[in-house]
Chains A and B, each alone.
Chain A
């Protein structure tokens, strides 16, 4: 009885979560433009999606920003985690508190604050004959900033588990700092670094609010493009895009989640 109830409950939530996505997938194959009519199966929206250069540009921008911001945030976050780990507790708490602001604060406030700082910086730079254009660089900086806390939070727990005596032992045995770090510390914290990178990557892919404020006209990521398209009205291409994105996410998650398990089994 209890088991049946919990099964039914799980099923209901499952339907609630997946019904909208399924609807989008089905509608993406609808030949007629309106939702009210089923015009038969068709892949024409997929074709027009790939022919729409504005959306393809936005996709390209999104991917570039996601890769770059995740990489830079991971490197920056790694140095931050390493130095935070050496600090005294009080200072560490203070700095961690500041790092976490973009994660805890409302996205809209983070977006606005970054927009204001870029404008202020732009005004300052005009004194020296430079201008700051809102676009690629401002979006990249924005994404690195909100990715940082997630990277640091992924790496810190791994660093705390490390016994630094092994690092000192490596130094005693003649390894340079760089070599000891690479051979002793890095392998241990690698899972944290990787998961931080992946988290940063997906967050950057998904972000709309902060991008909306720091992007400026003419530069679009997928999220901002979808927003303008959806506000304009029905866009069956967007359904096609949803389907493709959903399938990529599914495949990506399967790859990420299946592989480590196999490795673990081998290790055991």
Chain B
């Protein structure tokens, strides 16, 4: 039986090597060579150019802001949801998850429609006699798009870790004289930490590397590091530089993944 099981793993292992391991090695290869194929650090160093540094810093800044905003918005909501009565919870949680199943580009298109100069929000503001809101094609619009698109990714893991908390522990804390705030700081929050950490990575990594949101809401004037890399591959077909930049980007992803691994050993906070 065991021999049979080993045979089963054949196609699967071949697949992982062919389409996960080798592709990543190829990025490393392209990242450290030039077009002639000789070793160079030029591609990695390319991150140091002023425009690329600017794109990287802006991406880091915007993704950090959106991650924090998502956390601030999602945590109270997750707490409210985890406290609702068992019968209705499934449905209510679903209500907040459904937008996630809608096509990512259409969700971004929706915000473009709302925010544009003659967009829905400005028409409404004009109607009310209020000054117009001009945030399309600015970093604010990008942050808004990130928060809107990735909020469910923060909500789900936090909610999942909150509902796993044993009610008795909270009651015990209250019996022992802790007030609501103390209970939250000493019991609820620390126990929900795996969910928080996994939510943070699930929002931070896609925000840091996005090029779609910045493209559609930033009006292709604001370049994030994702846009720079995308252009290197799709427009300039400068794969070596693009790979070098991707390697630097992966460094940031690895760091956040390592932090997550440390806190979330059993995948408890995983959303799925």
Q: Which of A10-18, A41-49, A63-71, A127-135 contacts B (4 or more CB under 8 A)?
A: A10-18
Please state if A106 and B250 are interface contacts (CB–CB under 8 Å): yes
> Known contacts A6-B80, A36-B118, A106-B205; is A98 also within 8 Å of B96 by CB?
no
- Does A197 lie at the interface of the complex (its beta carbon under 8 Å from any beta carbon of B)? no
Find chain A residues with CB under 8 A from B109 CB. 24, 226, 230, 238, 242
**Whole-angstrom distance between the Cβ of A138 and the nearest chain B Cβ:** 11
Please report the total number of A residues contacting B with Cβ < 8 Å.
79
Q: Specify which of B104, B109, B212 lies most central, judged by the most chain A CB atoms within 10 Å of its CB.
A: B109
- Does B263 lie at the interface of the complex (its beta carbon under 8 Å from any beta carbon of A)? no
Please state if B5 and A82 are interface contacts (CB–CB under 8 Å): yes
A11–B127 Cα distance when bound, in Å, is: 24
- Does B42 lie at the interface of the complex (its beta carbon under 8 Å from any beta carbon of A)? no
Please state if B94 and A257 are interface contacts (CB–CB under 8 Å): yes
Please state if A148 and B15 are interface contacts (CB–CB under 8 Å): yes
A110–B226 Cα distance when bound, in Å, is: 13
Find chain A residues with CB under 8 A from B179 CB. none
Find chain A residues with CB under 8 A from B16 CB. 95, 98-99, 148
Name the CB-closest residue of B to A242. Answer: B106
A1-13 toward B: CB 8 Å interface, digit per residue (1/0)? 0000010011001
Main secondary structure of the interface of B (DSSP, over half): helix
Name the CB-closest residue of A to B152. Answer: A17
> Known contacts A21-B110, A79-B9, A199-B272; is A109 also within 8 Å of B27 by CB?
yes
Please state if B73 and A13 are interface contacts (CB–CB under 8 Å): yes
Name the CB-closest residue of A to B79. Answer: A6
**Whole-angstrom distance between the Cβ of B132 and the nearest chain A Cβ:** 12
Please state if B102 and A245 are interface contacts (CB–CB under 8 Å): yes
A249–B120 Cα distance when bound, in Å, is: 25
- Does B33 lie at the interface of the complex (its beta carbon under 8 Å from any beta carbon of A)? no
> Known contacts A98-B16, A145-B15, A208-B104; is A117 also within 8 Å of B26 by CB?
yes
Find chain A residues with CB under 8 A from B5 CB. 82-83, 86
**Whole-angstrom distance between the Cβ of B112 and the nearest chain A Cβ:** 7
Main secondary structure of the interface of A (DSSP, over half): helix
**Whole-angstrom distance between the Cβ of B213 and the nearest chain A Cβ:** 11
Q: Which of A90-136 contact B (CB under 8 A)?
A: 95, 98-99, 101-102, 104-110, 112-117, 120
A141-185 toward B: CB 8 Å interface, digit per residue (1/0)? 110110010100110000000000000000100000100000000
Please state if A141 and B19 are interface contacts (CB–CB under 8 Å): yes
**Whole-angstrom distance between the Cβ of B111 and the nearest chain A Cβ:** 6
A221-242 toward B: CB 8 Å interface, digit per residue (1/0)? 0110011001100000011011
Please state if B209 and A245 are interface contacts (CB–CB under 8 Å): no
Find chain A residues with CB under 8 A from B94 CB. 253, 257
Find chain A residues with CB under 8 A from B205 CB. 104-106
**Whole-angstrom distance between the Cβ of B272 and the nearest chain A Cβ:** 6
Please state if A83 and B106 are interface contacts (CB–CB under 8 Å): no
User: Chain A: residues with CB nearer than 8 A to chain B?
Assistant: 6, 9-10, 13-14, 16-21, 23-24, 27, 34-36, 76-77, 79-80, 82-84, 86, 95, 98-99, 101-102, 104-110, 112-117, 120, 141-142, 144-145, 148, 150, 153-154, 171, 177, 199, 202, 205-206, 208-209, 212-213, 222-223, 226-227, 230-231, 238-239, 241-242, 245-246, 249-250, 253, 257, 261
